[in-house]
Amino acid sequence: MKISPTLRIAAVCAFAALVPVFLIAFNVRWVINFPPLYSYGFDRYDIPEYTGIERGELIAAGEQIRDYFNDDEELLEISVVAGGVRVRNLYNEREVLHMRDVKGLVRGVYRVSEVSGLLLAAFAAVGFAVWRREFLPALARLAAWGGGVTLGLAALAGLGAVFGFDRLFLAFHLISFSNDLWQLDPRRDYLIAMFPQGFFFDATMLIALSVVAQAAALVAAPMLMTRRNRGDETRAIRRARIRERAG
């Protein structure tokens, strides 16, 4: 099957662009739903001591937040024991409304990961349907190009986070939210007291490291395939020579 050069270039560019989109969205999604991140953050930033809420109750609150991101409830309710008393909802109205906005962003990330993943899978399926096994080396090269683009973006984002996370964190909120509900006070608002800026820095670093590791694996894939093919060819030659000698 012949493909015009223009269509080929467009397909390559689309695939290479979709790879970082998928990797970033996928890793944001799993980090949001990664329970050890929450317990690590509560311990690292002494949240039980700062809030007066026992560690086990904080862990339960983190679980309720993750459930909220994955259910159909519009408003968040965090029921925990605080100060020896069971509270129906730990967060005030301002925090609850902000979390509604956050949930909209989170679910948007979910959709991006799903759509980009389906498009990449469809691209691969069409390639294998048309060219069969011959498409595998080409797919590996495309994935490597996408991995390379991802590494470049991750490097820029990582430098920005390390040397100016405060500004990036502020810019993210200004761009992502159309209101000021995110401007909370840790002295009276449990949400920001439980999840200080350092928590989000750690989460960002975890996302970045995961994306970099996966992108590096994609970049290395063609080299590993070439090495394997050379090994197969070498073994085939050796077997042929052994048969010749035996004959």
Query: What is the C-alpha to C-alpha distance for residues 139 and 125, in angstroms, rounded to an integer?
Result: 10
pLDDT per position as a tens digit, 107-118: 999 999 999 999
Contacts of 178 (CB under 8 A, 6+ apart): none
**156 within 8 A of 162, measured Cβ to Cβ:** no
Would you list the domain boundaries of the chain?
Answer: 5-246
> Quick one: tokens of 174?
């200004």
Is the pLDDT at 169 greater than 60? The verdict is yes
pLDDT in tens, 179-188: 999 999 999 9
Dihedral class, residue 149 (left if φ above 0, else alpha if ψ from -120 to 50, else beta): alpha
- pTM given for the model: 0.86
Separation between Cα atoms, residue 132 and residue 4, nearest integer Å: 20
In the predicted structure, residue 28 carries a pLDDT above the cut 90: yes
- Structure tokens, 132: 């069969």
Q: Please answer whether residues 214 and 23 qualify as being in contact, where contact means their C-beta atoms are separated by less than 8 angstroms.
A: yes
Residue 235 banded pLDDT, cuts 50, 70, 90: low
Nearest to 75 by CA among 92, 57, 87, 62: 92
Q: Which helix (H) or strand (E) segment is 89 a member of?
A: none
Q: What is the pLDDT confidence band of residue 233, given thresholds at 50, 70 and 90?
A: very low
Query: How many angstroms separate the CA atoms of 204 and 7, rounded?
Result: 36
Rounded to the nearest 5°, which phi and psi values hold at 149?
-60, -40
* Plot region of 84 (φ>0 → left; ψ -120 to 50 → alpha; else → beta): left
Task: With beta carbons less than 8 A apart as the criterion, state whether 148 and 219 touch.
Answer: yes
